[in-house]
Structure 1
Amino acid sequence: MKKAGKIILLVLLVLIVVGGVIIATTPTKKLLSFLAPEIDNIRVTDTRIGEETATMQVLMDVKPSLVSTFVDSVAYQFKLYNTTVAQGQKSFERDAQQQQQTIKFPMTMNHNTTRELVRRQVKEGEKVQAHFEAYADVPFFGRQKFDIDEDLDILIPALPGATVSNLKISDFGLDEMEMVMTMNLDNPNAFDFYIKDMKMTLNFPGKMSSVGGTVKDYLVKARSVTPIHIPAVADVKNPVKTTVKTLTGDQVWPYHMTTTMVLEPKSKVVGTIHLDAVKTGEVNVVQQVKNILETKKEEKKAEKQEKKEERQRRKEEKKVS
């Protein structure tokens, strides 16, 4: 037993000496790289897409090494095709009840820089190059900076395209106008999403304004264009004056439309997206009113024909009986 104890003690001493030699001869920077925490399960949530920028929250799980502890701050840089698409830094406060550290920081991208890069990533499946400078306390070394470089399978939401393909007036009166706006929503992303809520404010300057929205959820497939129909009722400003001007030549009305919508992606790594869009265009009101009258005329004609055929059918039935 004594001999076995001596052997075990000797082995431990050898391991300690070897470990000390390794530590003494290994550069501190390289040694610390082995102690760096691991970053995992990166996902994007709370995305808001506007005309110029997209902002989102990035969440990451941090797995500490054997000796590294809580990450108290991080500087980050994300690249696509070697082009920086987002960068920044964030500090974090320790939560005593937190079992596993999950850090969350904002990321903002400018569409002028990222639009085509993100669309290209969707087609080619390119990974995002990420560089992190994470700061944490390490026993015996104090507060240290860890440089972490990773290629991430992270989906950066691409800006959906929205174009107004049609504005159809369904009814026109002296004080109000009913219409249906058709918007084509182009989804360039690799995931489907639902439009859960969409609101529209449509303004014909000096003539009328309206507020409308979707009455059902729409499923927009990945890499596809889906038409969205938005009914609205507009209140006419200065009805008599507007009608007279329209009938005497003011036929084409320019419009300014703002829309807000909530998108729910069918993806585990991309959360809710809020999309704001501004669109301008014009509509020939007189031509639309003519179309309404023609449609009503055709409907009445079809109704009369249907009644005529029904009467004829009844006469023939009486003759048979």
Structure 2
Amino acid sequence: MTSGIRPGVSWVFLGILLVVSSNALGGGAQLEMRVVDEYPLVSGQIVTVELSLRSESPIVGAATFVLPELEFGVWLEQSRTSYNGFVLRDGRRVPTLVTSYAVWLQKVGRFQLPEVQVTAPVLIDGTKSDLEAAARGLSLSIQYPQVDPQPKDFLVADEAQISSFLDLPTELYPGQIIEQILTIRARGALPVSFPDVDVMPSRAYKVDRLPVDSSVDYTRGVVSSTQVVTLRYTLLESGRQMIPSYSFDWWNTDLHQFQTLRSKPYEIQVNASDVVDDASGSKVMTFWLWGILPGLVLAWAVVNYWKPMLSACKRLRSPVLPERLNP
């Protein structure tokens, strides 16, 4: 007995059943990937890659993303804030999971961002199943910041600011130590990308740069970094002095242009020291011991012993006659 369905038709029917079965097990999953930042993208920039997973079934747990190796940069950590809920689409609620990763761009040219795969738990007819999906890759174009001449050392960031605090006592004297704290904050940059603070030498003071304190935060796909630089000044001369303004260049990825940040300069007054140093004190002591003190001793001896000394002198001057000449 033979079937009434032709072999070719049976294989097509079987393929349709497999596709339907696969969509049912996967919940009709669709993963989309996009770069949030606007062009042009530049080397050194941190961009946000958003991943949006839509399913026909509710997503009931954390998703696992498989990130490919990048030729042009480095994946950073996943955003600490993700959305897992529903999105209105064509008038109906669609279960959606949205998260993001940051990518630090390190090369220049045209590159391919490979596909990203995801596995997420979904609830299908009361049964928990694993949903799998993949996002199509993207093409990226990365370039150098366009400026002529280009600064030697600069920061690439969305936002940047610098603040300064100088701890000053009521009065300043040579030999005192004061500290200046520079706080640099940037959004869309890592602390390793911050330019060095160039210390400016001066005859009026010696300046030392203490170890830098850095911190980084990553929330909602945005990297924010803070760097605290402490400069310690040892005052060497008296008079009116200037604590200089410190500056650095940065590429604003929102405005796509170079800008310069400068800290606040300070003018200080260092008074002449009224404390005698060790060398001058030693000289004064030597002068008292060998100059003034012997003179005082001699004057005291003259005042107290001038009468006995005068009598002795008179006796020495009077002639002493032999006894036979003095009957």
Q: Please tell me the TM-score bracket, short chain as reference.
A: 0.3 to 0.5
Larger radius of gyration: 2
The structure carrying a bigger helix percent of its residues is 1
TM-score by length of 1: 0.37
